[in-house]
Structure 1
Amino acid sequence: METYTFLRQFADSWMLLALFIFFIGTWFWAFRPGSRPMHDDAANSIFRHEDAPADDGGALSQDNNTDPEGQK
């Protein structure tokens, strides 16, 4: 049996089954009962700094667009 034919038959049968099982497994993992708080936290993460902007963490100054050494 030549390599292409073997790989084609493998992809059409066992690999299709393996990927389908992987898909179903990830679906069940994502929608498991204990994951609701994690999904709610991810959904609301964009609203965490609604009242005040997030800390820039040492980024460039927005007032005069200079780098930390003061050069333009």
Structure 2
Amino acid sequence: MKKELDSLLQTAEKAFTVELLKMPVAIRKMKRKDLLNLRGGEEVALAAAVTDCALEDIPNPKLVRTNSKKGKSSQSIN
């Protein structure tokens, strides 16, 4: 019974950690008291902050492959 409860607790902690990682950093660092005391206008601002920080909105930098001269010798080996 105790092992089952420990397993359930670990599962809940892992799920909570994943949910925290989905939130923007500003909200993660916010004190629980402040988060629970949010009122109507602040809730709208919070929702806007969450949607503004969506991963889809972050531009992906274009990676360009460049040829390196490392390993290429100017002298030929005979």
TM-score (normalizing by structure 2): 0.29
Higher RCO (CA 8 Å, separation ≥ 6 residues): 2
